[in-house]
Amino acid sequence: MLVLASGEGPTDIGKASGNCDIHAPGSWEPGPMAYFIDHVMQTLFHFEALGSAMWFLPEEALNRIARNIRPMTLGSHREFRKSAWTLLASAHKLAQEKGCAVLPILFRDTDGSRSQQKASGRWQEKHDSIAYCLDRTGTTMHVCPMLPNPKSEAWLLCALKNDYRDCAPLEKIPGNDASPHSAKSQLRDCLGTEVTQKYLVDLIQARRIRPDAIDMPSYNAWKNDMGIISQNMDGLYSFSASIIQRFTQVTRSVRIENI
């Protein structure tokens, strides 16, 4: 099994350079959330995904591919659903080329203010728009949502500020970076420095951030989803002929790095 991950920037899944769309393991720079994925993969499947199995689709490339999607009814949080659909189509193309199943993981911050999160249940809505991008009934999960609430900084604060204790309230802090005491500003204040990809990765590698010790609702939901979707890889790729045709049309020009 391979993993195809996509995120929003260097301080979550990572970054890459070059003229391909899907980057091979070892050819891109993983961010802290890629290390989180690797840890869970080791826990669930006993292999290191970052070493040879984790492929990367940067957001810029994903958005470029998504422009090939014909207008369709996407429902609420259409950008999340569209991104998940595009990632799934790209994973299908990678699976065909490599001859094995590919697990698509889409990282997105929930964002929003505390009042917005409480009023609209936006985390659940965004989660479902990613997970069930092909199945509105919520029966079959096709893409694994990696959806911190409100942002990945809250997961990191669980380790660095709360010492892994009583972390659930961190999901109520503002996700809007312009808000007072936002998740991003709290993490910066906690570390006493600007937060960079390398700095966070170094903290994980030094075990100052231990993914196995984090306990909070959105993080636990992601780990649970990883287990659910990985146990249904056969069902994940049971697509109709019409869906496969649409995937092929959208990803015809997608460039996969050769290794």
Q: Is residue 56 part of a domain?
A: yes
Report yes or no on 64 lying in a domain. Answer: yes
Domain membership of residue 178 (yes or no) is: no
Q: Does some domain include residue 168?
A: no
The answer to whether 27 and 47 have CB atoms below 8 angstroms apart is no
**Does residue 136 contact residue 75 with C-beta atoms inside 8 Å?**
yes
**Phi, psi (rounded to 5 degrees) for 237:** -105, 20
Element (H, E) at 221: helix 217-230
Q: Is residue 225 part of a domain?
A: yes
Encoded amino acid at 230, one letter: S
Residue 91, in any domain of the structure? yes
Give mean pLDDT, residues 93-109.
Answer: 95
Q: What's the average model confidence in pLDDT over 184-211?
A: 96
pLDDT band for position 233 (cuts 50, 70, 90): confident
Number of structural domains found in the chain = 1
CB-based contact 153:200 (threshold 8 Å): no
List, as one string, the DSSP characters of 44-59: HHSS-HHHHTEEE--H
pLDDT at 234 over 80: no
Share of the chain above pLDDT 70, in %: 92
| 84-94 confidence digits (pLDDT tens) | 999 999 999 99
Cα of first residue to Cα of last residue in the chain, in angstroms, is 16
pLDDT (tens digit per residue) in 134-180: 877 778 899 999 999 999 999 999 999 999 999 999 999 999 888 88
- 71 confidence band (pLDDT: 50, 70, 90): low
CA nearest 226: which of 118, 123, 145?
145
Q: Are 32 and 40 in contact (CB under 8 A)?
A: no
pLDDT at 204: 97
Give the separation between CA 196 and CA 142, rounded to whole angstroms: 31
Distance CA 101, CA 106 (A): 16
Is there a domain that residue 256 lies in?
Answer: no
- Examine the pLDDT at 75 and tell me if it is beyond 90: no
For residue 60, give its domain range: 2-151+217-251
Q: Is 180 helix (H, G, I), strand (E, B) or coil?
A: coil
Is residue 174 one of the residues assigned to a domain?
no
Q: Is this model's pTM higher than 0.85 or not? A: yes
